[in-house]
Structure 1
């Protein structure tokens, strides 16, 4: 593909509450064995993008560990590869990334040293499959300056927390509002953009001169009447995990057979780092209904409508329902957990009871490992 990829993975999101206190949102576990950034990386390698950069910043340790080998996404190559950039103090700059445009500006040498004519920019906190070649073909056919991947959301979705767009009959974007108070359209931006590399360099350099740091506000919205900005409609599955409720419902979506089939049985595949773990073990007396159980887990109790991530231990007579158990969690005997997200590496005492009522409860326990 005649494009390089940029994944913006450096932001913090306070709407994820305790879940983002120790990890970047792009490193959030998804569907038992994946991280949210895996979907953007898989889309890039499946689209034959040979050179991709990930811009990290906030709580990047877990994300950097996940990305320590590029072979999992087929970026281990002589030409191109996977690059991970973090803010660095230089003679000219001592700032952290002050926005998405500033993140690109601080790594402008990556763009200038590349030779591909186009750039695909995407966020790393969305779950979707997309062939970027189709977006690029659309971009070229429309003779667009910038192409924004958009999606029409159902009426029940609160679109005020997204950037909303309004297009004319030719799909040219006429209005772009970032997180409007009252949305006038249900079409949102998916945070995926295609732009010509030289033009992106020019616009970023101009933003830098004017102390402007946000890609959406200072490029898309500011230039919408000056540049030819078009929208590409995405009709397939797309979810953004910007809130705890979104994260919970996205994982619950993978309990639906049609969603699992779409992501894991239909070409192209979704790739992730593989851990050397044994298969899940179900001991005598365990019961599992409509759940995802990952490798390295040991199940003794009952699990229903839940997603259990790697290396979780579920004790005797436990009842787990409508919950997400993250990596390396030990749950003591006779424990009841319902409508909860249990943080990774937690140790839940025996005979505990946790249940979410009005919203999803996040369980944080830092006990010693009890066997009771």
Structure 2
């Protein structure tokens, strides 16, 4: 299969409902599950499906995304032939109406022309799932489809499989047809293509708001959900960091939580996700929280249904609370103090 399918990840999507987490990073680079980023899921799925050439098309705030992915080594994509490619958008002021911008692709047409693969899988960067794309390609070829849309419960997942030669033709004729992206083609009831649907039966969550992000994160604390997403034979890869184990000091208590490496915990943590290098002080109470990398929660703080972005400091004695529907979000690199909330 690796000689037949090309991976294309659209990392240009912007959701207003995720403003608090995407001010300093692209949606693809939003942290998830303590040590992953959202793009890790689609990228790992492609690699596990035998795809050896993956192009990522970012737009805004992609420095952290490029830092996370690097040469693609952790996904076995640092290779002399094929591998991982970045193609930032040269048209910063033109909004994309859907997944797979033909203008963006046209600016990097050489990638498609030089690749040896026969088919292309165009996908978004913000779906949390674990899927093998091999059966999709098999069904696409057997049914004689022009475009296959991957769906969950009859709802599109913004993922499309198309023959590469047809994709190149659609890119070149975009001015005549009026199609600006692959999703434009699919949504046009007057198109002349053979459109097929492939129903994915596993779990899939499209993160498009703070509430969907928070809910998807909290569901990971259910062991059955975790095991269904992180499969032994289809691992989700991410950037590897060498950090010491987490230290649990006297008086600490951790229940039903995910805790990454390099943390120091003295307080109480329940139903929460703690990323790398976090410090939880003495007599702290955390419930239903997402704490991102290198945050510090000082002594005596009480946090319930809170999302702390990276490098946040919560000062001594601060109380913060939100709800499952509207969690309290603290922006990256800020200081949250008790006097600020009084």
TM-score, normalization by structure 1: 0.85
CA distance in structure 2 between the aligned counterparts of 1:324 and 1:368, rounded to whole angstroms: 15
Q: Which residue number corresponds to residue 195 of structure 1?
A: 162
Quote the Cα distance in structure 2 between the aligned partners of 1:102 and 1:305.
Answer: 44
Specify the SS of the correspondent of 2:150.
strand
For 2:231 and 2:117, how far apart are their aligned partners in 1? 32
Q: Does 2:245 align with 1:279?
A: yes
The aligned residue for residue 342 of structure 1 is: 308
Partner residue of 1:230 out of 181, 193, 196: 196
| Aligned mates of 1:229, 1:266 — CA distance in 2 | 33
Query: What whole-Å deviation, never above 9, does each CA across 1:154-211 have from its counterpart, x for those lacking one?
Result: xxxxxxxxxxxxxxxxxxxxxxxxxxxxxxxxx2100111100000011111114566
Alpha-carbon distance change, 76 to 193 in structure 1, aligned in 2, over 3 angstroms:
same
Provide the rounded CA distance (Å) in 2 between the counterparts of 1:298 and 1:341. 18
1:204 correspondence with 2:171: yes
Give the CA RMSD over aligned residues.
1.9
Say which of 316, 320, 330 aligns to 1:363: 330
SS for the counterpart of 2:149 is strand
- Give the corresponding residue for 2:85: 83
Greater mean deviation of Cα atoms: 107-116 or 32-41: 107-116
State how many pairs are aligned.
Answer: 330
CA–CA separation in structure 2 for the residues paired with 1:16 and 1:366: 17
1:140 aligns with 2:108: no
Q: Say whether the 8 Å CA contact 1:5–1:52 is kept in structure 2.
A: yes
Number of the residue aligned with 2:262: 296
Which runs of 5 or more residues in structure 1 are unaligned? Answer: 89-93, 153-186
**What is the match of residue 340 of structure 2?**
none
Within 2, Cα distance between the matches of 1:33 and 1:118? 32
Are the aligned partners of 2:41 and 2:129 in contact in 1 as well (CA < 8 Å)? Answer: yes
Please state whether the residue corresponding to 2:70 is helix, strand or coil. coil
